[in-house]
Structure 1
Amino acid sequence: MADLAAPLRVSPFIRFSRWSLLLAGIAYGAIRHGSLSRKEAAIREVETKQKAIRDAKLAEEKKRLAKLELDDLAKMAGVPPEP
Protein backbone atom coordinates (compact mmCIF):
# COMPACT_ATOMS: atom_id res chain seq x y z
CA MET A 1 0.00 0.00 0.00
CA ALA A 2 1.10 3.52 -0.74
CA ASP A 3 1.59 5.88 2.15
CA LEU A 4 -0.74 8.84 2.02
CA ALA A 5 0.56 12.33 2.57
CA ALA A 6 -0.62 14.24 5.60
CA PRO A 7 -3.66 16.41 4.91
CA LEU A 8 -3.06 20.09 4.29
CA ARG A 9 -4.07 22.57 6.92
CA VAL A 10 -7.09 24.56 5.69
CA SER A 11 -7.19 28.25 6.39
CA PRO A 12 -9.65 29.30 9.13
CA PHE A 13 -11.13 31.86 6.70
CA ILE A 14 -11.84 29.14 4.13
CA ARG A 15 -13.35 26.89 6.80
CA PHE A 16 -15.52 29.75 8.06
CA SER A 17 -16.61 30.56 4.49
CA ARG A 18 -17.56 26.93 3.78
CA TRP A 19 -19.62 26.60 6.95
CA SER A 20 -21.26 30.00 6.42
CA LEU A 21 -22.28 29.12 2.87
CA LEU A 22 -23.55 25.72 3.99
CA LEU A 23 -25.75 27.29 6.68
CA ALA A 24 -26.91 30.02 4.29
CA GLY A 25 -27.90 27.34 1.77
CA ILE A 26 -29.83 25.39 4.40
CA ALA A 27 -31.64 28.56 5.52
CA TYR A 28 -32.46 29.51 1.92
CA GLY A 29 -33.76 26.00 1.25
CA ALA A 30 -35.99 26.08 4.33
CA ILE A 31 -37.43 29.48 3.40
CA ARG A 32 -37.94 28.45 -0.22
CA HIS A 33 -39.58 25.18 0.82
CA GLY A 34 -42.04 27.06 3.05
CA SER A 35 -42.89 29.49 0.28
CA LEU A 36 -43.49 26.75 -2.28
CA SER A 37 -45.51 24.71 0.22
CA ARG A 38 -47.90 27.61 0.80
CA LYS A 39 -48.33 28.13 -2.96
CA GLU A 40 -48.94 24.42 -3.51
CA ALA A 41 -51.51 24.31 -0.69
CA ALA A 42 -53.44 27.16 -2.33
CA ILE A 43 -53.34 25.37 -5.69
CA ARG A 44 -54.52 22.13 -4.09
CA GLU A 45 -57.45 23.96 -2.46
CA VAL A 46 -58.59 25.38 -5.82
CA GLU A 47 -58.19 21.97 -7.47
CA THR A 48 -60.29 20.35 -4.73
CA LYS A 49 -63.13 22.79 -5.38
CA GLN A 50 -62.88 22.25 -9.13
CA LYS A 51 -62.79 18.46 -8.65
CA ALA A 52 -66.16 18.52 -6.88
CA ILE A 53 -67.69 20.45 -9.77
CA ARG A 54 -66.03 18.23 -12.36
CA ASP A 55 -67.16 15.05 -10.58
CA ALA A 56 -70.75 16.29 -10.50
CA LYS A 57 -70.66 17.05 -14.23
CA LEU A 58 -69.13 13.66 -15.01
CA ALA A 59 -71.76 11.86 -12.92
CA GLU A 60 -74.55 13.75 -14.73
CA GLU A 61 -73.01 12.94 -18.12
CA LYS A 62 -72.60 9.29 -17.18
CA LYS A 63 -76.24 9.13 -16.09
CA ARG A 64 -77.36 10.73 -19.34
CA LEU A 65 -75.28 8.34 -21.44
CA ALA A 66 -76.58 5.33 -19.50
CA LYS A 67 -80.18 6.46 -20.17
CA LEU A 68 -79.42 6.87 -23.88
CA GLU A 69 -77.85 3.43 -24.00
CA LEU A 70 -80.85 1.85 -22.27
CA ASP A 71 -83.22 3.63 -24.68
CA ASP A 72 -81.21 2.32 -27.65
CA LEU A 73 -81.25 -1.21 -26.24
CA ALA A 74 -84.99 -0.98 -25.63
CA LYS A 75 -85.49 0.25 -29.20
CA MET A 76 -83.43 -2.70 -30.53
CA ALA A 77 -85.41 -5.16 -28.40
CA GLY A 78 -88.70 -3.70 -29.58
CA VAL A 79 -89.72 -2.47 -26.14
CA PRO A 80 -91.03 1.07 -25.86
CA PRO A 81 -88.51 3.30 -24.00
CA GLU A 82 -89.37 4.71 -20.61
CA PRO A 83 -90.20 8.42 -20.51
Structure 2
Amino acid sequence: MQSANLQKQKLELIEKIIHTDDQNTLDFLKSILNDETSDYELTDEQKQIVEEATAKYYSGEEPSFTWDEVKNNIRKRNFQD
Protein backbone atom coordinates (compact mmCIF):
# COMPACT_ATOMS: atom_id res chain seq x y z
CA MET A 1 0.00 0.00 0.00
CA GLN A 2 1.26 3.47 -0.88
CA SER A 3 1.94 6.07 1.74
CA ALA A 4 -0.37 9.07 1.89
CA ASN A 5 2.55 11.36 1.00
CA LEU A 6 3.40 9.35 -2.14
CA GLN A 7 -0.23 9.37 -3.22
CA LYS A 8 -0.40 13.14 -2.64
CA GLN A 9 2.73 13.71 -4.76
CA LYS A 10 1.29 11.67 -7.59
CA LEU A 11 -1.95 13.63 -7.53
CA GLU A 12 -0.05 16.92 -7.52
CA LEU A 13 1.94 15.84 -10.59
CA ILE A 14 -1.20 14.72 -12.37
CA GLU A 15 -2.78 18.10 -11.64
CA LYS A 16 0.25 19.92 -13.10
CA ILE A 17 0.21 17.73 -16.20
CA ILE A 18 -3.50 18.34 -16.72
CA HIS A 19 -2.98 22.11 -16.65
CA THR A 20 0.13 22.32 -18.84
CA ASP A 21 -0.17 23.75 -22.33
CA ASP A 22 3.48 23.20 -23.23
CA GLN A 23 3.81 20.48 -25.86
CA ASN A 24 7.55 20.11 -25.20
CA THR A 25 6.88 19.32 -21.55
CA LEU A 26 4.27 16.75 -22.47
CA ASP A 27 6.57 15.14 -25.04
CA PHE A 28 9.37 15.01 -22.48
CA LEU A 29 7.17 13.40 -19.85
CA LYS A 30 5.83 10.93 -22.38
CA SER A 31 9.35 9.89 -23.39
CA ILE A 32 10.32 9.35 -19.75
CA LEU A 33 7.23 7.35 -18.95
CA ASN A 34 7.61 5.26 -22.11
CA ASP A 35 11.31 4.79 -21.35
CA GLU A 36 12.26 5.98 -24.82
CA THR A 37 15.90 6.66 -25.46
CA SER A 38 16.85 10.16 -26.41
CA ASP A 39 17.96 10.93 -29.95
CA TYR A 40 19.95 13.90 -28.67
CA GLU A 41 23.72 13.73 -28.92
CA LEU A 42 26.35 16.18 -27.83
CA THR A 43 28.40 17.86 -30.51
CA ASP A 44 32.16 17.29 -30.53
CA GLU A 45 32.62 20.79 -29.15
CA GLN A 46 30.20 20.09 -26.28
CA LYS A 47 31.95 16.79 -25.53
CA GLN A 48 35.29 18.64 -25.40
CA ILE A 49 33.87 21.19 -22.94
CA VAL A 50 32.59 18.40 -20.69
CA GLU A 51 35.93 16.56 -20.86
CA GLU A 52 37.87 19.73 -19.98
CA ALA A 53 35.55 20.55 -17.09
CA THR A 54 35.82 16.98 -15.80
CA ALA A 55 39.62 17.09 -15.96
CA LYS A 56 39.69 20.38 -14.05
CA TYR A 57 37.35 18.94 -11.43
CA TYR A 58 39.44 15.81 -10.86
CA SER A 59 42.71 17.74 -10.81
CA GLY A 60 41.35 20.11 -8.18
CA GLU A 61 41.96 23.07 -10.49
CA GLU A 62 38.37 24.20 -10.13
CA PRO A 63 36.38 23.96 -6.92
CA SER A 64 33.21 21.95 -6.65
CA PHE A 65 30.17 22.74 -4.57
CA THR A 66 27.32 20.78 -3.09
CA TRP A 67 23.81 21.63 -4.25
CA ASP A 68 23.14 23.30 -0.87
CA GLU A 69 26.26 25.46 -1.26
CA VAL A 70 25.17 26.54 -4.73
CA LYS A 71 21.69 27.48 -3.50
CA ASN A 72 23.11 29.42 -0.56
CA ASN A 73 25.56 31.31 -2.79
CA ILE A 74 22.75 32.31 -5.15
CA ARG A 75 20.57 33.44 -2.27
CA LYS A 76 23.41 35.54 -0.84
CA ARG A 77 23.98 37.22 -4.22
CA ASN A 78 20.28 37.96 -4.65
CA PHE A 79 20.12 39.63 -1.24
CA GLN A 80 23.23 41.74 -1.95
CA ASP A 81 21.87 43.13 -5.22
Q: Same fold by TM-score, threshold 0.5 exceeded? A: no
Normalised TM-score (structure 2): 0.29
More helix by share: 1
Please tell me whether Structure 1 or Structure 2 has the larger radius of gyration of its CA atoms. 1
Normalised TM-score (structure 1): 0.28
